[in-house]
Amino acid sequence: MTRSTARSEALFARAQRTIAGGVSSDARRMPGVPLFVDHAHGAELWDVDGNRYIDYVLGQGPNLLGHAAPEVQEAVTMQVTRGITYAAQHELEAEAAELICEMVPCAELVRFNSVGSEAVHAALRLARGHTGRAKVIKFEGNYHGWLDPVLYSVHPDPEAAGSPQALRAVPGSAGQTPHGSDELILLPHNDLDAVRSAFAAHGSEIAAVIVEPFLCNTGAIMPVPGFLEGLRELTTAHGSVLIFDEIISGFRVAPGGAQELLGVTPDLAAFGKAMAGGMQVSALAGSREVMNSITDGTVAHAGTFNSHPVAMAAAVAVLRTLHEQRESIYPPMIHRGEQLMAELRAAGQAAGVPLLVEGTGAVFQTYLTEADTVRNYRDFVATDRAGMARLHQRLFDRGVSIVPRGLWFLSTEHTDDLLAETLEAVAAALPGLQEEENG
C-alpha cells in the first residue's frame, strides 16, 4: 500500500541539515523517512501528510490514558499559568511522592528526575554508596538507559557477546571508556543458577542486582517461576540492593507496577513513561533504609529540572487517576489487550505464519518464530527479526503503528472498533510475509 509522504520527505530533508541524522533519538530512526507527527488524540495519530494511524507505540509507552488525555491537558495548562520552573520546592512534588508511596510496594521515599536514564543512574549510585561496594549484576538484553555505565550487551552480536556460560560485556556505542564494564557482572536473563554462582564468587563485592522484572526492551519476557524471588533471597542474604527497572512496566502493568503484579518487592525501583501521560518525569523510589543515604547527604542527587512543576502537574493528574480509578482502568484495558493477543495468534494461524504473542494485555510482543516461548535475549535473537521488521512496515503502511521490533502498548482509548480495524490490517499484512523473505 502507498501512503503520501511528500511533506514528511521535505521535513526530513530540512531536519538533516541541522539535526544529526535528522532525528533527536536513535530510537526514532526508521528505514526511509521517519514518522513526522502532526497531532495525536486518544489511540490515534496523524502525520504531516494526513495519514492516520492506530497507535500502539504511545510515545514508547507513556500514554496509558491515550494521547492528549483531558486530565493531563487541564493540569498542564493550569500549571503553565502559575510558572514553568522555580528551582524551588512546590506542593505538587509532595503530592506526587505521596501517591507513589501509596501505590508502589517498595516506595517509602522518592526522588524525581526528568528521564528514565537519570533515575536508573541514581539507583546505581545510591546502591554503591549505600553498600560501599562497586560491582553490579546486569542481565543480557536488559536496557537501563543510554548512559555509559549500563549501555552494555543490550542487543549485542551473539558472537561478540560470547556463550551464555561466559558472557562478555559488549558496549552499545563507540565512545564508551575501555574499562567502563569492569564493575559489571553480565549474566543471562532468567538464569537463577548463574546468579547464585556470581554471588558465590563475588558476594561481598556486589552492590546491586538490576533487572527489568518484566523485560520489555527485548521482547516482552515474563520472569520464569522463582527467578525474581531468588534474586530477592540472594540480595538479602548478601547485603546487596535489588533494583527493579520499571521505566516501562511501572504504572502500566498494574497500579504498583510489575512488583505488584509479580509479588516481589525490591529495595529500589526506577519509574518513568506511564506516570505522567507523556510529560518528562522519572522517579527513584525505595525503602527508607536505602534512600536515607540520599537524605543524609552521603549520596549526591541533583538536577535543575527535577520535580519540574509542569511535568509534576501531569504526574499528579495521571497518578491520581490511575490510583482512584484503578478498577475501571486496568481490568478493561488488560482484557481488551488479551483479546487482541488471542486474535493475533488466530490470525497468524489462519495465514500459516508462526506468530508467537507473549506478554500482558497492557504491553505485549509479537515474534515470528516456531518456538513456544521466549525466555531471554538468545531466544529473542533466534526469532525472525527481519520478518518482524517487514510485518511492522506492512502494518504501518496499512495505518497501524507498533514499535518496530514487535512491541505493542495498549491504552484506555483502544476501543473495540479500533481493535477490529487493527485485526483487519493484520489479516491483510500477514499473507505472503515469509514468501517475501524467500523472494
- The residues annotated with a catalytic role in the active site are 143, 245, 273
Is residue 23 classed exposed, middle or buried when 0-12, 13-18 and 19+ CB atoms within 10 A define those classes? middle
Cα dihedral 76/79/85/90 (nearest 10): -120
Evaluate whether 234 touches 165 at the Cβ level (below 8 Å).
no
Strand 135-139 vs strand 206-211: parallel, antiparallel, or unpaired?
Answer: parallel
Phi-psi region for residue 307, left (φ > 0), alpha (ψ -120 to 50) or beta?
A: left
Strand 184-187 vs strand 135-139: parallel, antiparallel, or unpaired?
Answer: parallel
Cα–Cα distance measured from residue 403 to residue 365, given in angstroms and rounded to the nearest whole number? 9
Selection from 117, 103, 77 nearest residue 272 by Cα? 117
Evaluate whether 371 touches 356 at the Cβ level (below 8 Å).
yes
